[in-house]
Amino acid sequence: MLATSLQAAFVAIFFGQASGKVNKFLGIPFAQPPTGDLRFRLPKPNYPYSGTQTVTAFGPSCPQQDITIPIPAGLTQDAVDFLVNTVYGSIFPDSEDCLTINVVAPATAKPGDKLPVVTWIFGGGFQLGGTTIYDGVSIVQKSIDLGKPVVYVSMNYRLSAFGFLASDEVKQAGVGNLGLQDQREALRWIQKYIGSFGGDPTKVTIWGESAGAISVALHLLTNGGNPEGLFRAAFMESGSPIPVGDISHGQPYYDDLVQRTECTGSSDTLECLRQVPYSKLKAAMDKSPSILSYQSLKLAWLPRADGVFLKDTPQNLVQQGSVANVPFITGDCDDEGTFFSLSTLNITTEQQVHDYLKQNYFPQGSDAELTVILNAYPSDLTQGSPFNTGILNALSPQFKRLAALQGDAVFQAPRRFFLQKRSGKQNTWSFLSKRLKTLPFLGSVHGSDILNVYGGGDMADYLVRFAANLDPNGNTGINWPKYTTESPNLLTFLDGSIPLTITQDIYRSDGFDALTQLCLEHPI
C-alpha cells in the first residue's frame, strides 16, 4: 500500500497499490455519480477530496448494452476465440455510478517529476467496454524500459443510451454526447490532479482504439478546435472523425426507448426517462440495435452533431478547419469491416447489397450514387476483405464485398480524408496493421492492433516515444516518416520475417473518394 497526496483546493491522501516497478491508483471518482436527477445530464465535477481514500480496485464499468456475437457456421475456433476474448466483451460489474479514473505511474514517480501522460479511451462501439481489461502496467513498464517513463491514465464514460441519447428533445436540452462530455471532464481532472502522481498536465497525449479513437478525434474537433490546454497530442487506432449526421437521426431509437419505458404520455419524456427505474431503462436499451445487429455500423447510440459538443457534423468540422493544432497519429487495421459483416451473411445477391446500402446507410442516396459505390466495390472475391486473400474467406457470396465496403466507409476512408485535410497544417503520421492476416475469415481484423500495444509489441514503443517527444521515432523499429499529401506514408505492420515497412496510402482511391463524397452529402 502506498499513498499520494492531492494538493488541489483540499488536501486528501489516496492509498494505492504497489505492483513491481509501478504504482496503481484505481477507481478514483472524477465526477459526481450520474444517477437520479443527474442521469442524462452533463457531468458535474466531483466534490473536493478530503481525508484518506483507498483506491486499489477498479470501479464498476458503465452500463453495458446487451450484445450477442454472431458466430456463423464455418467460423474456426481461433477466430471465435479472438472475437469473444479480444474484441467485444461486456465488462461486469456495471453500474450507473461509474465515472471513475485510474492512474498507473512508475514506482519512482513523485510530485514535480513532470512525466508525460498517456490517457487511454477504450473502445466498444460506444455500447460496451471499460477500463478493467486494459492493463496500463504494460505501457508504463514499456516506457521505463525505453528510458522514457510515462504516467498512464484511463477513465470510464457513459455508454449506449446512457451516454449517447439522441433526439430533438436531447438537442433542445443540450445534453447530447454525454459520454464525450464525461471524457472531457476526466481530462479536466487530469489537469487538476495529475501533478500529484508525478505527471505533467502540459504533456498529455489522448489515445484510443475504435470508439475510443473516434472519441479522441472528436476531442480534436470540439470547441472550435481549441484543446483548452487539456492535451498536446493525439493517437488514434481505428477511428477518425466519423461520417455521422445530426442528433435528430436518433429520434426513432429515442421514441422506441420512450415507448418501452412507458414514458410516451409524459409532457417531458426526457424527465420521465430520468425517473424510470434503472432495470427498466436498461432492459429497454438492450432492445436497441447493437453494433452486431443486422444494421451493423449504423448505430442507434453514438456521437452525433448536437449543437454543443459538436456544432456540426464531424466531417464538416474538419472541412471548416475546426481541428486542434496538435501532432497526431492515426491508423487502421487492414480488414476493419470483416467483424462487422458477420451479421449480414444473408445478403447474397447484387440487388440485396444495393438495397442494404440504400435502406441502412444511405436512404437519401440516389441510385446513381450507389452505383458508383457498387462499381468501386465489385462482388469479385479477390477484391474483398480480408484483402489479398484471393478467393479464400468467403463466408457468403457478398461477405468479402460488404466487409470491404463497411470497413472503408466508417474507418479507412474517414482516416484518409482527415489526413488529406490536415497533413499540411500539423505533424501527422499514419499506420496500417496487416498482422494476423491468416486469421480465418477475419484477417487483420478490427481490434487486432490492440495486442501490439498492450502486449508489449512494437507499436507500444512508437506510442511511448510520441507521448514523450511528440515524435514516434527512436532506437527501436524502423524510421516512421510523416504523412504528407505528396508522400502519404504508412508505417505498415506485417507478420513474418519483415515486421515493419513503409507503404503508401494510395490503395482503393476510387472507392474512398466515392464513399467520402457520399458521406459528406448524406451523413449516416
The x, y and z cell numbers of residue 96, run together, are 450507473
Q: How distant, in Å, are the alpha carbons of 38, 43, 67, 408 from that of 165?
A: 14, 14, 18, 26
Active site annotation includes 446: yes
Active site annotation includes 336: yes
Q: Tell me which of 96, 237, 336, 369 is the catalytic residue.
A: 336
- Residue ranges of E strands in 197-257: 199-209, 233-237
Q: 343 CB contacts (<8 Å, ≥6 apart)? A: 70, 292, 293, 294, 296
Q: Helices marked H in 4-98 — which ranges? A: 77-82
Nearest to 305 by CA among 316, 296, 297: 316
Q: Give the residue carrying C-alpha cell 515486421.
A: 499
Q: 463 CB contacts (<8 Å, ≥6 apart)? A: 118, 139, 207, 235, 453, 472
Neighbours of 462 (CB within 10 A): 25
Helix%, strand%, coil% for the chain, nearest 5: 35, 20, 45
Neighbours of 171 (CB within 10 A): 20
Q: Helices marked H in 237-277 — which ranges? A: 251-260, 269-275
DSSP conformation class of 13: E
- Rounded Cα gap, residues 236 and 326, in angstroms: 13
Neighbours of 494 (CB within 10 A): 17
- Rounded Cα gap, residues 322 and 234, in angstroms: 15
Q: Tell me which of 167, 210, 296, 322 is the catalytic residue.
A: 210
Active site annotation includes 423: no
Contact 355, 294 (CB under 8 A): no
Q: Tell me which of 160, 209, 219, 446 is the catalytic residue.
A: 446
Q: 415 CB contacts (<8 Å, ≥6 apart)? A: 240, 330, 331, 332, 430
- Rounded Cα gap, residues 337 and 403, in angstroms: 4
Q: 51 CB contacts (<8 Å, ≥6 apart)? A: 12, 13
Helix (H) or strand (E) holding 51: strand 51-54
Among all residues, which ones are annotated catalytic? 210, 336, 446
